[in-house]
Chain A
C-alpha cells in the first residue's frame, strides 16, 4: 500500500535509480535471505512501474490552429506508423499569430 502511494509521485528516473540500488544491494551479498526477497519484490514492482511509465503515453500528433473566432484549436495530424513521416496529402499550415 505504502509502496503504491510512493509510486504515484515517482518518476521513471527515480524508479530506475532505486532499481539499480537494489541490484547493487543484492549483489553485495550482505543481505539476509528474508531481506533479499523483500528487496527483490520491491525491484519487481519498480520494473513493472517503469514498464507502465514507458507505455503511459499514446502516439498522438496534433497541430494547433487559430480558428475564425480567434481561438486556438488542435487538429489531428496523420503520420505513417512505421517511419513517423506525414501521411500523403497531410497538409500543415498556418501560424498562431
Chain B
C-alpha cells in the first residue's frame, strides 16, 4: 500500500461502512425485538423511535411507505417485533434500523388494535345508541350477508322460514375470513342497501370460530359498513366472550346467526293467533254488550205497564177525573168566597153617592181653572182689545196713522175711536 494511499478520508470510510453494512446478509432482512421509546410521529408520515432492551439501544426509522399498512398506533413502551435492515447515514457516521414491517410482540397485538379502533370509532359516535335504528316489527324481505358455503346461511334460512314461512330472503354472499374478507363484507352490505331490493332488515355475520377467524368483524371498514347501513342491520357473529366491534355498530346484535334470525323474524303463527284472539274478544264483547242491552229491554218490557197498555189509559183517566173534580171544587170555592165579600159591603149606595159628589167637586174646580185662562176673563179684569176696520187685532203702534179710526172692544161692548196723537215713547 502506498503511503499516500495509507489513509482514508472520513467520507470514504463511511461510504465503505455503508457498503459493507448494507450488503451484509447478517444485517439485512432481519427481525429485531425490542421496546419502543423516544417515539415521534413526524408530520411527513415517517415514524422515528428507538428500540431498546435492558442493556442496549438502537435508533429506528419507519418511513411512510413502510408504515402506511400499519393498522394501529405505536405507543411508548410497546413491545414489538420489527423486520428490516440496517442503514448507514454517511454524513454523520451513524446507523439505524430501518423498519419495513412491525407487529406487536405476542398475542396481544390484535387485541390492542381492536381496543384502539374501538376508542377511535367510539369517539366518532359510531356506537352511539341514538344512532341505532329500530328493527321492523314485521319484515317482508330480509337480507343475509355471510359466506354462502358456511353453516350460518343455512341456519338463518331454516330459522327464518320456520318462524315465517312466506318470507322473502336475499342472500348477498361474502367471504368472511382471509384476504379480501373485509372488502367482500362491505360490498355485500352496500349492495343490500340498494333501495331496489327493498330490504327491511339485514343479518350479517358468520358462525363461531377462533379469534383470528372472526377478526374481520373488527376491521374498521367492516365496522363502518355496519354503522352506515341505511337498512336496519343485525350483527350475527358467533362469539362466546368478546363482542366483535360490528356488534356495537349494528342496530342489534346476536351471539349466533340463528339467534339473529329469531330477533329479525317474528313467528307468524303467534301473530295470527294474537290477531284472532283480539278479534274474537271484540266479537264476544260485542255479543255480551248486545245481550246486556237485550236483557235490559226484556226487563223493561216485562213491566206491567207494557204488558197491559190499557192500564196506562185507565190510570190517566183516573188522574184526569181527579183533576176535574179538584178544579170544580176550587172554582166553586172561589165563587162563593167572592160572593161573601160582596154581601159584606152593606151601604153600597151611600158609598156611590159620596164618590159622585167628590167627582163633581173636582170637575168644577177644573172648569174654574179653564175659565181663568179665557180672554173674556182677562178683559173682565180691565183689559181691552184694539181692532182695525177689518177686525184684526192690533198688537203694535207700528203702521198706525194719525186720524185713523179704530175699534176698542171691552168685556161688555165695543166703541169706535180716532187716533189724535202718536207718542214716541212707550
A residues engaging B (CB < 8 A)? 11-13, 16, 19-20, 22-23, 26-27, 29, 31, 33, 36-37, 39-40, 43-44, 47, 50-51, 53-65, 72, 74, 77, 79, 83-86, 92-97
Contacts and interface: CB of A to CB of B under 8 A. Distances in A.
A92 B282 contact: no
Given A47-B278, A86-B154, A97 B169 contact: no
B380 interface: no
A63 B153 CA distance: 11
Given A19-B279, A95-B188, A64 B170 contact: yes
A86 B151 CA distance: 11
Contacts of B153: 92
Contact of B173 (A19, A22, A39, A65): A65
A45 to B, nearest CB: 10
Given A51-B272, A57-B166, 11 more contacts: A27-B281, A53-B138, A54-B138, A59-B165, A59-B166, A62-B171, A64-B191, A84-B158, A84-B159, A95-B175, A96-B191
Nearest to B137: A13
Nearest to B188: A96
B162 A57 contact: no
A83 B154 CA distance: 11
6 contacts: A23-B282, A37-B286, A57-B167, A59-B167, A83-B162, A96-B191
A18 to B, nearest CB: 10
Contacts of B154: 85-86
Given A11-B137, A96-B187, A84 B170 contact: no
A77 B171 CA distance: 9
B271 A54 contact: yes
A60 B279 contact: no
A30 to B, nearest CB: 10
B275 A23 contact: no
Contacts of B138: 11-13, 53-54
Interface residues of B, number: 48
Contact of A79 (B157, B175, B285): B157
Contacts of B293: 33
A23 B169 contact: no
B149 interface: yes
Contacts of B183: 97
Interface string B251-270: 00000000000000000100
Contacts of A54: 138, 268, 271-272, 275
A12 B272 CA distance: 11
Contact of B148 (A12, A53, A74, A92): A92
For the residues of A in contact with B, the DSSP-based class is mixed
B274 interface: yes
A79 B153 CA distance: 12
Contacts of B167: 57, 59
Contacts of A94: 148, 173
B282 A43 contact: yes
B173 A92 contact: yes
A62 to B, nearest CB: 5
Nearest to B158: A84
Given A29-B289, A51-B272, A63-B171, A57 B278 contact: no
B61 interface: no
A19 B282 contact: yes
A84 B173 contact: no
Contacts of B272: 51, 54
A95 B187 contact: yes
Ordered nearest first, which 8 A-B pairs have the shortest CB separation? A84-B161, A92-B148, A47-B279, A26-B285, A63-B171, A43-B282, A12-B138, A50-B275
A20 B292 CA distance: 22
Contact of A26 (B159, B184, B289): B289
A58 B69 CA distance: 47
B158 A57 contact: no
A32 to B, nearest CB: 9
A35 B274 CA distance: 24
Contacts of A56: 140
A84 B141 CA distance: 16
Contacts of B173: 63-65, 92-96
B172 interface: yes
B184 A96 contact: yes
A58 to B, nearest CB: 6
